[in-house]
Amino acid sequence: ELQSRQYLVCRLLLEKKNTIRDLRDQLRGQLRVAFVPTMGNLHAGHLALMKMARQHGDPVVASIFVNRLQFGPNEDFERYPRTLQADIEKLERERDVYVLFAPDESEMYPEPQNYRVLPPTDLGDILEGEFRPGFFTGVTTVVLKLFSCVQPRVAVFGKKDYQQLMIVRNMCRQFQLPVEILAHETVRDEDGLALSSRNAYLTPEERREAPRLYQTLQALRARLLDGGADPAALEREAAESLAARGWKVDYIAVRRQRDLKKPQAADLAASEPLVVLAAAKLGATRLIDNLEV
């Protein structure tokens, strides 16, 4: 059945590390496994990552694991939507994923996780890392563990989590992991709101306001492209315009794409590729987004 690889449905649901490792042993050397790690509650953004994975490897393995390690004490770990059955049905409909790895907590963390992967502070402690201490350590630690179970040749991450993508990519490079990290463009609703499982927390009124985050980034990008404006002043203006509409802004930051550092005058003069990143709360829901310039 594995050899025929028909992708009729999501064929295998594995819950144990050993079973996914056995599967890898059977497939070793023959196949280029493409992997999409997720925390479930799958939406069109996740499904697009899986479609991309399908183009770059075979078989496609997805994982669903809500990783406690990357949630802060006052964050939404307990109420994070867990919808495994509905997720499986979506995977079966799409037929891009051959294996779903859905371990439970005792499988991934059978003992306290004392070893952690610590991202460098200049990348892991800024932006998201500043507002969510420990978040990236939790992400890199679980991604490394998932990679060690699945042993993919390729893994697909969304650009919506821009800093996460960069940190995972750097981790693979520095640890010489034989995994190629591919980036998928952010998938958006028709009104521009970046798809996220956390959008489900928004009230109808907040949902109507939510695309404003993306519109603000678009306006900021247009001003940057006009040239001559001071990025710090543009960041301030953008944050103030959101705050005036009731948002609680954590950051709006113009950064260099290559290292997420603030652009210097020489960077602006040399048309260094930039990215504008934002995180802000609407009511109780924290949204993030970004736009490359």
Candidates 91, 117, 126, 142: give the one binding ligand PAF (CB under 6 A).
142
Sheet order of strands, 154-158 included: 12-14, 99-101, 60-64, 34-38, 154-158, 180-184
- The answer to whether residue 137 forms part of the interface with ligand PAF (CB under 6 A) is no
Question: Would you say 143 or 239 has its CB closer to ligand PAF?
Answer: 143
- The answer to whether residue 290 forms part of the interface with ligand PAF (CB under 6 A) is no
Applying CB under 6 A, what is the total number of residues that bind ligand PAF? 10
Question: Would you say 197 or 216 has its CB closer to ligand PAF?
Answer: 197
Spell 95-123 as b/e; 16+ CB within 10 A means b.
bbbbbbbbbeeebbbeeeeeeebebeeeb
In 10 A of CB 175, how many CB atoms? 12
- The answer to whether residue 149 forms part of the interface with ligand PAF (CB under 6 A) is no
Place of tokens 């144990």: 16
Please, are residues 203 and 225 in contact by the beta-carbon 8 Å criterion? no
43 assigned to active site: no
Is there a cis peptide before residue 119, judged by omega within 30 degrees of 0? no
Question: Would you say 36 or 280 has its CB closer to ligand PAF?
Answer: 36
- The answer to whether residue 67 forms part of the interface with ligand PAF (CB under 6 A) is yes
Stretch that binds ligand PAF, among 50-58, 110-118, 135-143, 224-232 (CB under 6 A): 135-143
Candidates 58, 94, 96, 161: give the one binding ligand PAF (CB under 6 A).
161
Token readout for 123 is 């990348």
> What 3-state class would DSSP assign to 36?
strand
Candidates 10, 14, 117, 143: give the one binding ligand PAF (CB under 6 A).
143
Helix and strand element counts for the chain (H, E): 12, 9
- The answer to whether residue 34 forms part of the interface with ligand PAF (CB under 6 A) is no
Which residues are part of the catalytic machinery?
Answer: 46
Per CB under 6 A, residues contacting ligand PAF are 37-39, 67, 70, 139, 142-143, 161, 164
